[in-house]
Amino acid sequence: MHYFISPVLWQFLVNWLTHFALFPPEASAIAPYADALYFFLILISLVGMVIVMALVGGFSILYRKDRNPEATQIEGSTLLEATWTIIPLALFMVCFVWGALLYFRIYNPPANAMNIYIVGKQWMWKAEHPGGQHEINSLHVPMGRPVQLTMISQDVFHSYSIPAFRVKREVIPGRYTTVWFTATQPGTYHLFCTQYCGTLHSQMIGEVVVMKPDDYEAWTQGSTSGMSLAQNGERLFASMGCNACHSGNAGARGPNLAEAYATRVQLTNGSYAMVDDAFLRDSILNPTMHTTAGYAPIMPTYQGQISEEGLIDLVEYIKQLKSNSRVQQTLNTSQVQSQAQSPASSQVQQTAPATPGMVKP
C-alpha cells in the first residue's frame, strides 16, 4: 500500500490513525466501577437493539407483500404488552439501583480524605492546597490517597471534570460543592471545564498530575508559598477585625470559634445546624442567615470584601482553630499596634471595635 502514496503522507496517516483514543485511561479507584456499569449498559443496549432489529428485519422478510399478500389483522395482546412493560422496567430498575450506588460512592467522601480547595473563574482553575501550594490550571495529587475537592466559582457556572477518574462536579457561584477520588495510576490526565462558561470555555483546561507519594512529598516541599492557608486565614482574621467579637472571652459579642468546626450549634430560631465549610462561608457573607442562639444579630456582612480565596483561608483557619490563645494574642497585638501607631484611632476602635458596621442596630 505505502508504495503507492507519498511516504510522508503514509507516515502521517499511520501516526494519526494509531495515536487516537478509543477508551479513556482508568486512573482512579472509582473508574473500574464506572466502567463496569458502562459495559452493563452497553450490553443491555446491544440486546435491545438486536431484538428490535431482529423483529423489524425478520418480519420485513417474512411478511413482505410478495410472500404474504394478505395481512392478518391482530388486535393486540395483553400478555405481550405486560411482557414488554415488565422486562424493560426490571432492567431499567437494575440500571437505576446500580447507578444510584455508584453516584453515592462518587459523591460521599470518606472521612480521611485530604482536602484541596478549587476556585473556578473565567477562564482558569485555581487550586489551593492547605499547605499553601497554589496552582493554576493544574492539580498535583498523591497516588493512593483519597482526595476531596471543595470547589466554588467566583463568577459563572463551571464544571470540574477529570475523565480519567470518571468524576465531575459542577462548580457553582455562591456555594461549595465537593467531589472526591483516589488516584491509582501515576501520570498526567486531562482536566476540563465541561459547563459552558463564555468565550474561552475550551481553554479552561488543565492537567491533573498523579504522583507517587515520595514525588508528591518532594513537590509539596518544593512549591509551597511559605504560608499555609490557615496562616493566611489567621492574618485575615486579625486584619478584618474578626477577633474583636470572636475573641473567645466570656461575654464576647460573637460565638467562640475554637473547635466549633464539625459541631452542631443551636440557632436563634431553635433549629440546629452543622458547622461545615458552607455554614462558615454563609456566616461571613450573610450573617443573619443563621445566628447562633444566645447572640444578637449584630455581625455585619462581608459580602464583596473578601475574595473566594480569602474565604477559603478563613474557613481553613477556623477549621484548625483549637484554642483561643492565638486569637487573643493577635487581638492584643493589634490593639497594642494601633495604640502605638495612632492613639486617636484606638479610641475609635474601643468605642466602635473592628468595622463601623458592627455598631449599627
Partner 1 sequence: MSTIVTLPDQQTASLPKRSYLNEEYGLKSWLLTGDHKRIAILYLISITFFFFIGGAMAGLIRLELLTPPTDLMAADTYNKLFTMHGIIMVFLFLVPSVPATIGNFLIPIMVGAKDLAFPKINLLSWYLYVVGGILVLAALTLGGVDTGWTFTTPLSTHYLNTHVITAGLAIFVAGFSSIFTGLNFIVTVHRMRAPGMTWFRLPLFVWSHYAASILMVLGTPVLAITLVLVILERVMGIGVFDPAKGGDPLLFQHLFWFYSHPAVYIMILPGMGVISEVISTFSRKRVFGYTAVAFSSVAIAVFGFFVWAHHMFIMGVSNYSALVFSLLTMLVAVPSAIKIFNWAATLYKGSITFETPMLYAFGFMGLFTIGGLTGVFLGSMGMDIHLTETYFIVAHFHFVMVGGMLMAFLAGIHFWWPKMTGRMYPEGLSKLAALTTFIGFNLTFFPQFILGYLGMPRRYAAYPPEFQVLNVLSTAGATVLGVGYLLPMLYLVWSLKYGKIAGANPWQATGLEWQIQSPPLTENFVETPVVDYEAYDYEWLANKTKHEVQTVG
Rule CB under 8 A: which of 193-232 touch partner 1?
193-203
Within 267-326, the residues that bind partner 1 by CB under 8 A are 286, 303-304
The helix/strand/coil state of 133 is: strand
Stretch of residues binding partner 1 (CB under 8 A), selected from 151-159, 309-317, 319-327, 346-354: 151-159
Contact 215, 141 (CB under 8 A): no
DSSP 284-297: HH-GGGSPBTTS-S
CA-closest candidate to residue 150, choices 114, 185, 103, 192: 114
Nearest-approach distance from CB 86 to partner 1, in angstroms: 9
CA distances in angstroms from 359 to 142, 253, 335, listed in the order given:
48, 11, 18
Within 156-175, the residues that bind partner 1 by CB under 8 A are 156-157, 159, 161, 163-164, 166-170, 172-175
Q: Give whichever of 75 and 214 is closer to partner 1, judged by the CB atom.
A: 75
Nearest-approach distance from CB 359 to partner 1, in angstroms: 24
Q: Give whichever of 196 and 272 is closer to partner 1, judged by the CB atom.
A: 196
CA distance 127 to 148: 12
Nearest-approach distance from CB 165 to partner 1, in angstroms: 9
CA distance 344 to 359: 18
CA distance 285 to 311: 9
Query: 29, 37, 252, 265: which one contacts partner 1 (CB under 8 A)?
Result: 37
Q: Give whichever of 47 and 336 is closer to partner 1, judged by the CB atom.
A: 47
Stretch of residues binding partner 1 (CB under 8 A), selected from 86-94, 208-216, 243-251, 290-298: 86-94
Nearest-approach distance from CB 1 to partner 1, in angstroms: 18
CA-closest candidate to residue 320, choices 259, 274, 276, 264: 259
Nearest-approach distance from CB 45 to partner 1, in angstroms: 4
Q: Give whichever of 71 and 344 is closer to partner 1, judged by the CB atom.
A: 71
Q: Give whichever of 107 and 272 is closer to partner 1, judged by the CB atom.
A: 107
Contact 181, 28 (CB under 8 A): yes
Task: For residue 11, state whether it binds partner 1 (rule: CB under 8 A).
Answer: no
* Residues in the chain, overall count: 361
Nearest-approach distance from CB 199 to partner 1, in angstroms: 5
| Strand residue runs (E) in 163-316 | 167-171, 177-182, 187-193, 205-211, 264-266, 272-274
Q: Give whichever of 156 and 227 is closer to partner 1, judged by the CB atom.
A: 156
Q: Give whichever of 67 and 322 is closer to partner 1, judged by the CB atom.
A: 67
DSSP 82-125: HHHHHHHHHHHHHHHHHHHHHHHHHHS--TT-EEEEEEEETTEE
Sequence-separated (6 or more) residues with CB below 8 Å from residue 15? none
Nearest-approach distance from CB 183 to partner 1, in angstroms: 16
Reading the block at residue 27, the C-alpha cell is 486512573
Within 41-80, the residues that bind partner 1 by CB under 8 A are 41, 44-45, 48-49, 52-53, 55-56, 59-60, 63-65, 68-77, 80
Q: Give whichever of 45 and 323 is closer to partner 1, judged by the CB atom.
A: 45
Task: For residue 110, state whether it binds partner 1 (rule: CB under 8 A).
Answer: no
Query: 1, 6, 104, 214: which one contacts partner 1 (CB under 8 A)?
Result: 104
